[in-house]
Amino acid sequence: MSISDLRNKAKQAWMSGKYDKALPIFETLHQKLPNDLRIFVKLAEIRERLGDPQGAVRDYIQIAESYANDGFVVQAIAISKIILRIDPKRTEIQNHLRTLSEQRGDDWAIRTLTPQDHQAITPIHDEKKFNFERTPLLSMLSGDELDDFIDSLSLTSYQEGDTIYKPGDSGGSLYLLGMGNIRLEVAGDEQAAYAHLSEGDFFGEVAFMSRTSRLDRAIAASDVKILTIKRDTFDTWVARYPNIQTIVESFYRERVLARALAINPIFKDIPVNVRMKLAERFKLCHFNTGDSIICENDSGDSIFLIRSGHVKVFIHDPKDDQKSIHLGDIHEGSFFGEVSLLTGRPRTASIIAACPLEVMELNKHDFDEIVERFPAVKQIITRFQKKRVQDTIRTLMERK
């Protein structure tokens, strides 16, 4: 039987809950693919479900050691949590992680970019053969600090297709993806996945850092195991290690911008990888409540995309120059400033921050390069510009 057929047969037995039938199939798969740790994990899970905790722990220890030795620290921690759930006395993996952190120094908490199905053959120091990146939050911890941090994490399992969180849920937790894959989706649009995450990544930082409810949705793209960091734990660690805040803030900025681009009609149809390259052209600007972002009749040659917060739009009252007319509000994911960018004319309205505001500014030079590659961007903005002119005229007519 081919590997593909074995995989399909194993998945069917697993999904149907026929673990006694699934066991020999996964054992065969493991023999044929000994370095595929996802198969090994399933085999260990089946042993536990069939009432063989000692056999499960034996397998889990091998899996965790393989992950740890190759620098896949988050995955090793997730497996360690499973081992301790089955047998709280089996602390050897946590001790192993502590030893590695102390021995490797700068090489601690490093993972390859493709953790699943990895082969533990090439030494971790051979950077010519592997492309490495550090696992955020963990690379600065060792000794007692690492032990305390691991102890503070909780492990939760989800099946493929499960919702991990949805719009409106509390943003009080930060997540580390220990096993499997997830996708982040824009609320209300299941096709607008703006991020695909794999083992070792962390997520949920958008609402967590802004201390708001969730605005997006996290879906398990496979069976997953997730480590959770609660707010009080995070705040404690930030007080000790300020760099943790910096790391999470960096990811926060990238993900919020990715979401803003995903829900904006200008960029929505542009491929995700291209979108993120475009994002590098934007300049981040912060404003406080009441700050003026642009003023009517001023010159300007840039467009703004709201990353978080919202703004109020005003124009001078043609009947009384001392008064202003409120045309409406513009919210997260929307843009403004397009008229001057397209026509070269002065700003047609004043924009005021209605709350603490983050906007991304794109200048004309970079905009023109984007339009040259994606002509539809200019067409969409022009269409929005015409609609806004019509809305302004309608507002003025209603005041007569």
Whether residue 10 is contained in a domain is answered as: no
Whole-model pTM: value is 0.66
pLDDT of residue 41 exceeding 50, the answer is yes
Q: Number of structural domains, the chain?
A: 3
Q: Which residue intervals of 17-142 are DSSP H helices?
A: 19-32, 37-49, 53-69, 73-86, 92-104
pLDDT level of residue 201 (50, 70, 90 thresholds) = confident
d(CA 136, CA 242): 13
| 118 lies in the same domain as 167 | no
- Report residue 134's pLDDT band, with 50, 70 and 90 as the boundaries: low
Tell which of 87, 121, 152 closes a domain: 152
Distance, CA of 400 to CA of 393 (rounded, Å): 11
Is residue 219 situated within a structural domain? yes
Confidence of residue 316 (pLDDT cuts 50, 70, 90): confident
Domain for residue 14, yes or no? Answer: no
Residue 102 forms part of a structural domain = yes
pLDDT of amino acid 305? 83
Helix (H, G, I), strand (E, B) or coil at 161: coil
Top mean-pLDDT range of 58-62, 67-71, 393-397: 58-62
pLDDT at 399: 65
Decide which of 195, 226, 260 is a domain's last residue.
260
Give 281's pLDDT tier (boundaries 50, 70, 90). confident
Cβ proximity of 304 and 361 under 8 Å = yes
- Say if residue 110 is in the same domain as residue 87: yes
Q: Are residues 138 and 213 in the same domain?
A: no
pLDDT in tens, 227-262: 998 888 888 887 877 777 777 776 666 666 666 676
pLDDT band (50, 70, 90) for residue 273: low
326 in a structural domain: yes
Q: What is the dihedral of CA 22, 24, 26, 32, to 10 degrees?
A: -160
**Is the pLDDT at 133 greater than 70, yes or no?**
no
What residues make up the domain containing 221?
155-260
- Give me the pLDDT at residue 45, please: 94
Of 110, 129, 152, at which residue does a domain stop? 152
The answer to whether residue 321 sits within a structural domain is: yes
CATH number of domain containing 299? 2.60.120.10
Q: Point out the least confidently predicted range of 54-68, 124-138, 165-179, 373-387.
A: 124-138
Same domain, 307 and 371: yes
Check whether residue 334 and residue 255 sit in a common domain. no
Question: Does any domain span residue 140?
Answer: yes
Q: Is the confidence at residue 163, as pLDDT, over 70?
A: yes
Is 69 inside a domain boundary? Answer: yes
Is the same domain home to 175 and 145? Answer: no
Report which of residues 297 and 275 the model is more confident about. Answer: 297
Pick from 198, 162, 257: nearest CA to 38: 198
Residues 300 and 365 in one domain: yes
